[in-house]
Structure 1
Amino acid sequence: MTEECRTAPKGYGYRWIVWAIMLASYMVVFFHRLAAAVVRQNLVDDFGLSGSAFGSLASMYFYAYMVMQIPVGYLADSLGARATVTFGMTLAGAGSLLFGMAQGTTLLFAGRFLVGIGVSTVFIATLKVLSMWFRERDFGTLSGVTNLVGSLGGVLAQAPLAWAVAAFTWRTTFVAIGALSLLLGGLCWLLIRNAPADMGLAPLNAAPPTRGKPSLAEGFRAILSNWRIWPAALFYASIMGIYLAFSGAWGISYIEKVYGLARPAAAAIASYIVFGAMAGGIMTGGLSDRIGRRKPVILTMTALFCLCLTPLVFWNGGMPPQALLRPLFFVMGVTSTAFILTWAVAKEINVPRYTGMAVALVNTVAFGGAALITTAMGVILDRMPDAAPLVQYRALFSFALACSLFGIACALLIPETRCRNITVAAAEKG
């Protein structure tokens, strides 16, 4: 983060309060994103879920997130972050309460889906806030910091959640997180301001003059016709999809069944991929901003991510030494954060007034990919009911490795923006 970012003109200090409440909300997003893996056995015991049914339940979050990205992008660009996130956190709280109190699978799935709809509002609105309250040159770094702090919620959804479930039951835990979400919704309305102009301050970033609210049709015609956004979106889908499928659905059960560990111990090991994502989040955005390039960072980290998957397929039939798991998962987490830079790329290849919708498009593709990857892994397990756990999970990680190789192919087509909005730069030259 640059010195200029830390020492903005007088009156802009309130942006740290705005960002802080957004970060607190984003922690709840990550908690729900990864929590299903910890309570998988509880849900199987209480509701009799099969592997594919659990994969579908875990994916309900991603499907809801995917469906809501384009509406949320438009709302963030038109109504602003304040109203959008307040509504989202309130709905997420209601969904978590429903999930925790569900007595049948219909309400269980409905609660998970409502949570996904609610939390889908937070990230795009956060990026919109960053684009309004902070300098453009700090966007990659601040996006990484946002991901890092949000990942703390993912850490809470690993070993701490396993301990909470053991102590208070999974139902009580999800009811409590629902109440917290409702509280955060109220704080969002009270504290968030959409832009410096809401407090009588001048904008920090230059942008082409615009009139009125952005047009949804006009915005998406411009974004969809921009071929450069599609490689970024597909890359994001493949790499983040693998990361979320592992950390949010299948990683803990892999360690439990293949290595014979109890759930809290398995969750503690699996949490290293989240720790890695936290470290990578701040490192990835900062490194890219510092060198003034996006693509070299994306390609290098994705290649390393692919290498990290190979021991789970080829080493001892997919069972590397247990002592290797923590460092392996940590590096997987670090390198998976290459997808963070797709947010910056989406912002930098489209007209600034459509930032929310551009990020919404790549998120729609990405979470659709995450849902399909997570569900596909459940189907793979169901089709191998009599196979040993090691054979089953080797098949899962072979599929993940194939997806990561597809991600590298997409990364090769991502344009280099040199960390600035190329539409604004072109207009200035013209």
Structure 2
Amino acid sequence: MKLGIAVLVLAYGLSQFYRAFLAVLAPDLQVDIGAMPDDLAAASGVWFLVFAAMQIPIGIALDRVGPKLTAVVMFALGAGGGAFVFAMAQSPIHVIIAMGLIGLGCAPVLMASYFIFARTYSPAVFATLAGATIGIGSLGNLAGASPMAWAVTTYGWRETMQGLGIVSLLVAALIWVTVKNPPKVETEHRGSVFDLLKMPQLWPLFALMFVNYAPAAGLRGLWAGPYLRDVYGADVSLIGQVTFVMGLAMIAASFAYGPLERLFRTRKWVIIAGNTLSVVSLLILSIVPDPGVWVSAALLAAIGFGGSTFPLLVAHSKAFFPAHLTGRGVTLVNLFSIGGVGVAQFATAPLHTYGVGMAGGFTTAYGLIFAFFLVTVLCGLIAYFFVTDRTD
């Protein structure tokens, strides 16, 4: 089982990579196939929306057929096939289609790991295991920065994407060989996702889930690249360095929040503290969008750290789930989280276009994007204040 989890973490690393690499490719895609920032925002949004849309059927599949078959089929067809489609792209629409396929393929791998944790390990260590999975898997997020920039410069972006397609197929084969399904929960109650949606104590969690990851994922995966290029004239190398720093902050957060929960004996207030850090950083950038490239890098890193409370939010939510709805529960939470990122990507694209045409140009455009993220996270945080704290 441990080897299977390690392979699922490897697959999740590729998922993290695929949601983050567009920021580095932005200059090359604009030159080669005319993909503008708005096109890439749409492509990134499609990745997250397809990923989110698949969570309900994935939850049903996890509870009924298990994580092994669910992850293998979707990762091979989606992540592998989508990478090859991306490598052949001749226009922005091809990139959008490819990102949709990749989003479908990446959708089950983290939830497959969480499903195994929930069925196999004590609830007391779930948040730590969940955070460690994201922390280790987020090395793929780092690979989407400087290493991706190096590969594109050395081999070309099409050849790099072909190599990623091959790697994705190999990882799918390893999942088939190593992952074992945990025992099923025997119960007379079948239940459905609607039983979870009827639980009022979950809705404050859903509200924060919908917005808390959107700034970190949206900026790290897409807007950081155009922002640094347009406001500071950054090249691919500098963009890779700044996004690498932001990725490191997100990894550090994934390892930190679980121990902090045990240290302070609260999930709610650790989550509130992390998201407050995001709010303060977004407030500064929305007021002063060009404070200097390394000040911006530090604030982006703070947003990444504050927006990485996902494992703790899943652990908090899981405390309310009936055991036989574990698969549907964790995927429902993931739907809100990833779906919020997708919606935010589509919402910020017209803000960028509108801001560029205003006085201040690019500075105004990115100030509007930061302000959008600020308002949405603040609203989610206010709703979350009303949730019941649970550490079981």
Task: State whether TM-score is above 0.5.
Answer: yes
Shift, 1:44, TM fit: 2.1
1:83 aligned to 2:69? yes
Supply the distance in 2 between the matched residues of 1:90 and 1:261 (Cα, whole angstroms). Answer: 36
Choose from 281, 293, 296 the match for 1:322: 293
Following superposition, the deviation at residue 221 of structure 1 comes to 2.6
Superposed CA deviations along residues 110-141 of structure 1, whole A, max 9, x for unmatched, are: 21111100100111111001112322211000
Q: Per the alignment, in what secondary structure is the counterpart of residue 213 of structure 2?
A: helix
| 2:137 corresponds to | 150
Structure 1, residues 157-189: CA drift from partner, whole Å, max 9, x if none? Answer: 011111111111111111111110100100101
Secondary structure, aligned partner of 2:192: helix
Deviation at 1:410, TM superposition (A): 2.3
Give the distance between the partners of 1:220 and 1:254, measured in 2 at CA: 39
Aligned to 2:100: 113
Deviations 1:220-262 (A, max 9, x none): 2311101222221221121101111100110121112111221
1:51/1:328 CA distance change after superposition, 3 Å:
closer
Identify the residue that residue 150 of structure 2 maps to in structure 1: 163
- Please report how far the alpha carbon of residue 373 of structure 1 lies from its aligned counterpart in structure 2 after TM superposition: 0.9
1:289 corresponds to: 262
Q: Cα deviation per residue 1:380-404 (whole Å; 9 max; x = unaligned)?
A: 1112343422121111111111112
Letter in 2 for 1:88: M
The verdict on how the C-alpha distance between 1:321 and 1:383 changes in structure 2, with shifts beyond 3 A counting, is closer
Decide whether the 8 Å contact of 1:51 with 1:382 is kept in 2: no
Q: 1:342, CA displacement in angstroms?
A: 1.6
Q: Report the residue type matching 2:328 in the other structure.
A: M
Contact 1:51 1:379 in 2 (8 A): no
Alignment pair present for 1:226 and 2:207: no
Partner of 2:303: 332
Matched, 1:353 2:324: yes
**What SS does structure 2 have at the residue aligned with 1:164?**
helix
> Hey, what does 1:47 align to over in structure 2?
33
Q: Indicate yes or no: 2:119 matched with 1:132.
A: yes
Instruction: Work out the CA distance in 2 between the residues paired with 1:221 and 1:43.
Output: 42
Aligned to 1:272: 245
1:54·1:378 contact (CA, 8 Å) conserved in 2? no
1:402 paired with 2:340, answer no
Instruction: Read off the aligned partner of 1:359 and give its amino acid letter.
Output: V
Q: Give the unaligned 5+ runs of structure 1.
A: 1-14, 199-206, 421-430
Q: Percent identity?
A: 25
Task: Could you tell me which runs of 5 or more consecutive residues in structure 2 were left unpaired when the two chains were aligned.
Answer: none
| CA displacement at 1:407 relative to structure 2 | 2.2
Q: Distance in 1 between matches of 2:157 and 2:339?
A: 27
RMSD over aligned Cα, in angstroms? 1.8
Q: Is the 8 A contact 1:235 1:339 kept in 2?
A: no
Partner deviation per Cα, 1:396-428 (whole Å, 9 max, x = no partner) = 1111111121121122122211x22xxxxxxxx
Structure 1 contact 50–382 (Cα < 8 Å) conserved: no
Deviation readout 1:6-26 (Å, 9 max, x if unpaired) = xxxxxxxxx321221111110
1:14-93 matches, cutoff 5 A: 15-91=1-77, 92-93=79-80
- Aligned to 2:19, the other structure's residue is in SS state helix
What residue is the counterpart of 1:375 in the other structure? 346
Contact 2:34/2:91 (CA < 8 Å) preserved in 1? no
In 1, Cα distance between equivalents of 2:32 and 2:293: 31
Where 1:34 maps in the other structure, the secondary structure is coil
Asked whether the equivalents of residues 309 and 401 of structure 1 are also in contact (C-alpha less than 8 Å), the reply is yes
Aligned-partner Cα distance in 1 for 2:196–2:385: 20
Do the aligned residues in 2 keep the contact of 1:233 with 1:363 (CA within 8 Å)?
no
Cα distance in structure 2, aligned partners of 1:27 and 1:410: 31
Give the TM-score taking structure 2 as reference length: 0.94
Q: Secondary structure at the match of 1:193?
A: coil
Residue pair 2:56, 2:331 contacting (<8 A) in 1 also: yes
Letter matched to residue 46 of structure 1 = D
Shift of 1:219: 2.0
Partner of 1:210: 187
* 1:366 is the counterpart of 2:343: no
Distance in structure 2 (CA, Å) of the matches to 1:339 and 1:302: 11
Q: Which of 147, 151, 162 in structure 2 is aligned with 1:175?
A: 162
CA displacement 1:69-106 (0-9 Å, x = unmatched): 00011111111111111112202111111111123444
Give me the whole-angstrom Cα distance separating, in 2, the residues matched to 1:326 and 1:382.
23
User: What code does the residue aligned with 1:381 have?
Assistant: H
Q: Which among 218, 223, 227 is matched to residue 254 of structure 1?
A: 227
User: Given the two structures, how large is their TM-score scaled by the length of structure 1?
Assistant: 0.86
Tell me the distance in 2 between the aligned counterparts of 1:50 and 1:167: 23
What corresponds to 1:96 in structure 2? 83
Aligned residues: 389
Following the alignment from structure 2 to structure 1, what is the Cα–Cα distance between the partners of residues 143 and 180?
Answer: 28
* Letter matched to residue 210 of structure 1: T
Match of 1:344 among 303, 308, 315: 315
Deviates more, 1:361-370 or 1:109-118: 361-370
Give the direction of change, closer, same or farther, for the CA distance of 1:118–1:323 in structure 2 (3 Å limit): closer
The 1-side partners of 2:353 and 2:37 are apart by 6
Amino acid at match of 2:316: V
User: Is the contact between residue 227 and residue 366 of structure 2 (CA under 8 Å) also seen in structure 1?
Assistant: yes
